[in-house]
Amino acid sequence: MIPAAFEYYRPKDMAGVLSILEEHGDDARVMAGGHSLIPMMKLRMADVPHLIDLQDVGGMSGIEIGPDAIHIGAMVTQAQIIDDDVLATAAPILREAALQIADPQVRYMGTVGGNVANGDPGNDMPGLMQCLNATFTVIGPHGERDIPAREFYEAAYMTAREDEEVLTSVTIPLPKGGHAYEKQKRKIGDYATAAAAVQIVKQDGVCSSASIAMTNLSDTPIYSEAASAALVGTTVDDAALKAAMAAMLDDIDPTEDNRGPVAFKKHVAGVILRRAIERAWSRP
């Protein structure tokens, strides 16, 4: 399909972006890679009279790895995440997840910022960022502010970002322990039927901390404190695995669609979570 008519803008700096957003309010949207917004516009699921392309705005395409945190610009693509060997050493789960997003053509244009900012519950990065306890930096007419990823998502396509704000970067505490990102999907390029991001810290054979988040099983990504807590203090044996799976199933709220009925999605979620926990536990 063809999208409705719209005005296209390509400002050179963030001041220009914010000026257009202030002028047009709800009628304006920013676009990073465009792989979420453009299909919605073509299907007439999104009406965007004023489209602002961020491609020429500098300062949002870098990756910085410090002693305590990783800073990723909003315009960094999934392909950049995959190709950065230093980043893969510091946070291998980022490459692992990025490799499971869509296909190479999408990953060359799709950005980290776009993936997390639009509030699509089927996107991979939002749940991953909740697992990693990331923080999103947004800028608007009143300056910058930081929003924890675990507080950012309010409902499907609704986030804590105001209409006149732009997400500029993601900051992730340097990951510790073992990790895994597991995803089940019908075919290459599809959203997940269920996906799980897991991070586990092991001390003397016992889980000292854990972080678990699930994707596309509710109208927001789900960070499951209860599932994470079920592993702490255990050797991640079968009983702990079953407790974590039961806790996660209490937190999610899937709906029936073309990926299957609710019972099937819950079953897949349990299988995927168990695999992710076991793989994270097996890693140093």
- Listed as own residue / partner, the contacts of 209-213 with beta carbons closer than 8 Å and 24 or more positions apart are 209/177, 211/131, 211/132, 211/133, 212/131, 212/244, 212/248, 212/273, 212/276, 212/277, 213/127, 213/128, 213/130, 213/131
Hey, where are the domains in the chain?
7-53, 63-173, 178-282
Q: Do domains 63-173 and 178-282 have the same CATH topology?
A: no
Q: Per-residue pLDDT tens for 194-249?
A: 999 999 999 999 999 999 999 999 999 999 999 999 999 999 999 999 999 999 99
Amino acid symbol at 96: E
Question: Who contacts 23 (Cβ-Cβ below 8 Å, separation ≥6)?
Answer: none
Query: CATH code for 7-53?
Result: 3.30.43.10
Distance (Å, whole) CA 256 – CA 95: 30
Q: Average pLDDT over the chain, rounded to whole?
A: 95
Query: CATH code for 178-282?
Result: 3.30.390.50
63-173 classified as CATH 3.30.465.10: yes
pTM: 0.95
Q: Per-residue pLDDT tens for 29-52?
A: 999 988 788 888 888 878 899 999
